Copies of this chain bind each other. A is one copy, B any other.
């Protein structure tokens, strides 16, 4: 009997060591100590504490993340734009008119700056020309093949290697605390879904993005969804709360962005009741990543920065808050 009691006591002690270790472990090891790291950890501790007045039940723990510039880099231009350019080169033999028609002509000459000088309109035109005309399954395969092999012009890395290690830790930390994590990006929904689960642990049904229309068809008796060159939804700026409402149907309690395109998403999140977490990633590290904000054409952060400072949202200083940027630095 005494043996049994001793054994039980030993098991209890072991269990205490194990559980205590879990709560001692740093959930965000790539983050330097500081107000940003503190704000995230304090938020999670509060909303998951059943004794707190700010406790949030699991089903309502919704966190949303922009993708470009928030979960992975976005310079010298959105990574999806490189996919568009590669598709234009691939499709050019079927489009002899592109050699003289802008913005396609500039892309074929390798002059990306001119190609993008038409702004959003030009980008949408190129996206339509390269993202439509296939079935959803064919498009999935195009992206799968591209993302597995295409490399970033500056780092020479696969694009999926250029994700932010500190943000991967935030995603995992939130999920370990009962959160559902969603991507809410201006990027193409079917582009991101190809790699979001493998790279971020975010399943396709938790990815919200811009989209073109699709049409159901029976081809020789087999149903397919055909991608049409018609805009369905632009998930940017005022579109982000609309997309969140359409896909999630409830208001997030935490939102992470990095540009003015995320401002309305952060405002929408902030306007709910109870404790909220609004985070802006500020690109401040020209050595390890890029430094840009108010004057940048890609990922401009101007009004958003003002509002973050005025409303006491959390602003992450990449240079000082992040020990490493990319997972490959850890080797």
Contact = CB atoms under 8 A, between A and B. Distances in A.
Interface of A: 3-4, 7, 59, 62, 136, 180, 189-190, 193, 197, 203-207, 211, 213-216, 218, 222-223, 225, 232, 238-239, 241-242, 245-250, 264, 267-268, 271
A59 to B, nearest CB: 6
Contacts of A238: 215-216
Nearest to A208: B247
Given A204-B249, A247-B247, A223 B193 contact: no
A223 B250 CA distance: 14
Nearest to A237: B216
A246 B205 contact: no
Nearest to A271: B223
A136 B223 contact: no
9 contacts: A4-B4, A62-B205, A204-B248, A215-B242, A218-B267, A223-B271, A225-B241, A232-B246, A247-B247
Contacts of A216: 238-239, 241-242, 264, 268
B3 A248 contact: no
Contacts of A214: 242, 245-246
Contacts of A245: 136, 214, 225
B264 A223 contact: yes
Which of A203, A223, A268 has most chain B Cβ within 10 Å? A223
Contacts of A264: 216, 223
A106 to B, nearest CB: 32
Given A216-B268, A249-B193, A264-B216, A225 B242 contact: yes
A232 B3 CA distance: 70
Contacts of A250: 204-205
Contacts of A271: 222-223
Contact of A205 (B3, B4, B232, B247): B247
Query: Which 10 A-B residue pairs are closest in the complex by CB-CB distance?
Result: A204-B249, A216-B238, A193-B249, A205-B248, A223-B267, A216-B241, A223-B271, A223-B268, A204-B250, A214-B242
Contacts of A205: 62, 180, 205-206, 247-250
A204 B249 CA distance: 5
Given A180-B205, A213-B242, 7 more contacts: A189-B246, A190-B249, A193-B249, A214-B246, A216-B241, A223-B264, A225-B242
A271 B219 CA distance: 12
B268 A241 contact: no
Nearest to A270: B223
A286 to B, nearest CB: 34
A271 B215 CA distance: 16
Contacts of A218: 267
Nearest to A205: B248
A221 to B, nearest CB: 9
A242 B230 CA distance: 14
Contacts of A246: 189, 211, 214, 232
A329 to B, nearest CB: 29
